[in-house]
Amino acid sequence: EAQVTQNPRYLITVTGKKLTVTCSQNMNHEYMSWYRQDPGLGLRQIYYSMNVEVTDKGDVPEGYKVSRKEKRNFPLILESPSPNQTSLYFCASSFGTGNVYEQYFGPGTRLTVT
Amino acid sequence: DAKTTQPNSMESNEEEPVHLPCNHSTISGTDYIHWYRQLPSQGPEYVIHGLTSNVNNRMASLAIAEDRKSSTLILHRATLRDAAVYYCIPGSGNTGKLIFGQGTTLQVKP
């Protein structure tokens, strides 16, 4: 089954404790992206990757890192999480065709930083 | 980035057609119009996209105005499972970034 998977689905952590949220897709998509969703602010893009070893900042990259060493994986790294990073995170992937990106989203990771 | 205007909420009865409008008067000439939806407690889901002419797929139809300043997503027979927030998103540029506004919350009554 074609899908985007995220782990963990739920995470409660403390300020400053490094964490990684994994994202994996099995559709051989070149394009992958991370979004966060907050009440009243909608979904905002954090980072995106056009292909292996190619990553770039989205609208809200502060406090986050990503890597794209393999086509299927695009982990989101929080080196020193803070309470303002408490949010619902979504990973997405897509074939990029010109300026059309039919994106497939993962189920989400709900992160709470205390 | 093009600005969109959608009604905050709409209601429909089950098995009736639903027309979800979107205004995107500042859309550029090469921007596709995408529609996504988000069911409760799930990630966004692609619905349909189009550029100039009307489009159909297994989920919905997309009617695009001739001047491209507005579009309408049509669900031909709403089901309870179609209750979701529907987002109209003009363009993703060359970065693939989707700008999600507040969307339209669709309620479907049995």
Q: For the segment A27-79, what is each residue's pLDDT rounded down to a tens digit?
A: 999 999 999 999 988 899 999 999 999 999 999 999 999 999 999 999 999 99
Q: What is the structure's pLDDT at A98?
A: 58
Measured CA to CA, the distance from residue B72 to residue B10 in angstroms comes to: 13
What amino acid occupies position A62? Answer: E
The answer on pLDDT for B19 being more than 80 is: yes
> Distance (Å) from the C-alpha of residue B99 to the closest C-alpha of chain A?
7
Are B57 and B1 contacting, i.e. CB atoms less than 8 angstroms apart?
A: no
Name the closest residue on chain A to residue B103, using Cα atoms. A42
Sequence-distant (6+) residues with CB within 8 A of A69 are A52, A53
Specify the residue for token string 């998103």: B89
Specify the residue for token string 């994106």: A103
Q: Which residues numbered 47-86 in A keep a CB inside 8 Å of some CB on B?
A: 48, 50, 56, 58-59
> Distance (Å) from the C-alpha of residue A17 to the closest C-alpha of chain B?
26
Rg of the Cα trace of chain B? 13
Q: Give the tens place of pLDDT for each residue, B26-54.
A: 888 888 899 999 999 999 999 999 999 89
Asked if A48's CB is within 8 angstroms of B97's CB, the reply is yes
Nearest to B49 among A42, A56, A102 (CB): A102
Asked if A108's CB is within 8 angstroms of B46's CB, the reply is no
Measured CA to CA, the distance from residue A32 to residue A73 in angstroms comes to: 9
The answer on pLDDT for A2 being more than 90 is: no
Between B13 and A95, the higher pLDDT residue: B13
Q: What is the structure's pLDDT at B31?
A: 87
Torsion angles phi and psi, residue B73, rounded to 5: -90, 130
**Best mutation site among B27, B41, B95 for testing chain A: the one with the most A CBs within 10 Å?**
B95
Q: Give the tens place of pLDDT for each residue, B43-102.
A: 999 999 999 989 999 999 999 999 999 999 999 999 999 999 999 998 877 778 888 989
Of residues A70, A44, A43, the one with CA closest to residue A57: A44
Asked if A102's CB is within 8 angstroms of B92's CB, the reply is no
Asked if B92's CB is within 8 angstroms of A101's CB, the reply is yes
pLDDT band per the 50, 70, 90 thresholds, residue B1: low
Percent of chain A with pLDDT over 70: 96
Specify the residue for token string 């982990």: A75
The answer on pLDDT for A99 being more than 70 is: no
